[in-house]
Amino acid sequence: MAELIPTGTEAEWLEARRKGVTASEIAVIMGLSPWSSPYALFHQKLGILPPQEDNAAMERGRVLEPYVAGKFAQAHHEYDLRGNGRDLYRCDSRPWQLATPDRLLFEHRLCASCDADVPLGCTCESDLGPAIAVAEFKTASDISEWGEPGTDEIPVHYRAQVLWQMDVMGVAKAYVAVLDIKQWEVREYVIEHHQSHVDRLAVATPDYEHDCDICKDIVVMRGAALEFLGRIDRQDPPDVDWRPATAYALKQLHPSVEDTEVTVGAQTASRYRAALRNARHWEQRKKLYEAHLRERMGSARRAVTPSGEVIARRDVYEVSESVRRAYTVDKLVPVKPKKES
């Protein structure tokens, strides 16, 4: 189902990624990523803008990935974990569809050649058989968007990433292990498909229809990826949106300021001014209803609806003295409703 792309250097790896759509990029294209936008990714793919800059969250994920992977391996002796999170694969039938899974999972077995326990050092790849699942390892300082461990309730951008990896690698199962930074606890989630559906998807046309939710999502993502790649071929950028990555891309595309004027449409000007007025209005409304919640909650930790759904959580904690004087944080955190699969 998938072929490993040989990339000797970082530059070769980045260039190979630019020729297709990776699992992390599909969430961007679908407008689901909290870190980038279709507009920014478009210009990065063309080489007009540099790749996304590294940040503290990305560095934290890289540093802690081996720890989370080790914890996962300890809990799953039935698997042999292979990979380094950098190996780039492309789908045989759709070479524009790329993935870099954190790990590939193989059935744990004894090596027939050297009679050694495979995870204990045997490198006889021929004895591993096909990969049967993928695994992703994450970190999170806020797990409000994660469901109960053991379920498939993970943030939607991670779900898109994992489904894309499953589709590229042709596997019916994926694990997502996340390290809850505050509790220092690894939580595990599973997304599982039917192998028969995977086999049908491998040869599915763009108009393929199925009542399986995962099949539907994969077909939609494939279509969105092809449309995005078509825009790149035509050099037709996506519409701008509200995301910070889009604003950052626009600043990078036009770094200097000239003492000139540009005429904008009356509708654009009117909507901009209305948005400024509404922003102030809705910020006041937010503070009003936050006050209502605080009054009703008193010293309670959570506010719930009559049906038991948590809508807000009160966090109070001390911040020790560092650069400035120590202080207490008391914030009301909105809790998003669980998304349906």
Q: Per residue in 141-196, pLDDT tens?
A: 889 889 999 999 999 999 999 999 999 999 999 999 999 998 999 999 999 988 88
Nearest to 40, CA basis, from 223, 226, 243: 243
Shared domain check, 287 and 185: no
In this prediction, what percent of the chain has a pLDDT beyond 90? 57
pTM, entire model:
0.81
Shared domain check, 213 and 109: yes
Residue 132 has pLDDT above 70, yes or no: yes
Total number of domains in the chain: 2
Q: Would you say residue 258 lies in a domain?
A: no
Q: What share of the chain is helix, strand, coil (3-state, %, to 5)?
A: 40, 20, 40
Shared domain check, 299 and 188: no
Shared domain check, 284 and 135: no
pLDDT of residue 89: 94
Shared domain check, 129 and 222: yes
Residue 23 has pLDDT above 90, yes or no: yes
Residue 39 has pLDDT above 60, yes or no: yes
Q: Report in angstroms the alpha-carbon separations of 186 from 92, 179, 335.
A: 34, 4, 21
Shared domain check, 187 and 80: yes
pLDDT tens profile 229-240 = 999 999 999 999
Q: Would you say residue 140 lies in a domain?
A: yes
pLDDT band at 332 (very low <50, low <70, confident <90, very high): low
Q: Would you say residue 263 lies in a domain?
A: no
CATH number at residue 206: 3.90.320.10
pLDDT tens profile 246-258 = 999 999 999 888 8
The pLDDT mean for the chain works out to 87
Shared domain check, 142 and 280: no
Q: Would you say residue 260 lies in a domain?
A: no
Shared domain check, 173 and 104: yes
279: containing domain: 268-317+327-334
Find out whether 311 and 335 touch, Cβ atoms under 8 Å. Answer: yes
pLDDT tens profile 256-288 = 888 888 898 999 999 988 988 898 899 999 999
Q: How far, in Å, CA of 278 to CA of 225, rounded?
A: 35
Shared domain check, 295 and 161: no
For residue 338, the tally of other CB atoms under 10 A from its CB is: 13
Q: Which residue has the tokens 């220092």?
A: 184
